[in-house]
Amino acid sequence: MRVREAFSLLEVIIATAILAGSAMVLFSLISLGTKYGNQAEERTIAVSQAQSLLDEFIARMASEEIREEVNGVLPSIPARNFRIEVTPFELGGSIGANRNSSAAMETQALLYRVKVELFEANASLTSADAEPLCQLSRLVRRPQIEAPASDRDSSETSIPPANKNRAKREAGGTL
């Protein structure tokens, strides 16, 4: 008589339980990875939007009056609230202490810290406990707008130096 070796019912049940437990752990890891991937994508988009706001605001600083705070809503999907804060920045520590000249003081007066914060659309900007999605800040030197010199031709001062040669060529002049 020949005895056949096979798995017992208990061994099959234990193997099935181990397989089911491993599958549950794998599926939870996949869902967790998807969740964190979506959050990373949202943050990347938020940082890109905040960077665009910061660049646009800094570009407008030269021609507009500086306001201490600007609030608004980004027309994006999903809509997001933003806050831009501008504060004068003074150099501190040993570097600032050694620079007492009037030129250094004027340079310090022109430095501003521009901070952009981006919030979810339902977050209140007036609440102190509102957590921003992202926050960017940059030190900016406000460019001074100079009046054109009286000895220069006013048409030449309106053309950037890199484009003067092209403007002369197009006007039929020689270099």
User: Using one digit for the tens of pLDDT, what is the confidence trace for 110-169?
Assistant: 788 889 998 887 766 666 667 888 899 998 886 655 555 554 454 444 444 444 555 554
pLDDT class of 103 with cuts at 50, 70, 90: low
The pTM assigned to this predicted structure is 0.58
Is the peptide bond between 148 and the residue preceding it cis, with omega within 30 degrees of 0? Answer: no
Pick the CATH number of 9-144 from 3.30.70.20, 3.30.1300.30, 1.10.10.10, 3.40.50.2300: 3.30.1300.30
Phi–psi pair at 145, nearest 5 degrees: -85, 120
26 confidence band (pLDDT: 50, 70, 90): very high
Of 111, 88, 108, whose CA–CA distance to 98 is shortest? 108
Residue 122 neighbours by CB distance under 10 Å: 9
Structure tokens, 59: 């570009």
CB-count burial class (<10 Å; 0-12, 13-18, 19+) for 113: middle
Query: What's the chain's length in residues?
Result: 175
**Burial annotation 155-169 (CB, 10 A radius, 16+ → b, else e):** eeeeeeeeeeeeeee
Tokens representing residue 142 in the block: 């406000």
Task: Return mean pLDDT, the chain.
Answer: 76
Which of 98, 80, 83 lies closest to 42 in space, CA to CA? 80
Q: DSSP alpha helices (H): ranges in the chain?
A: 9-61, 93-97, 102-109, 154-157, 161-170
- Report cis status (omega within 30 of 0) of the bond before 78: yes
Domain borders along the chain are 9-144
CA atoms within 13 A on the CB side of 101: 5
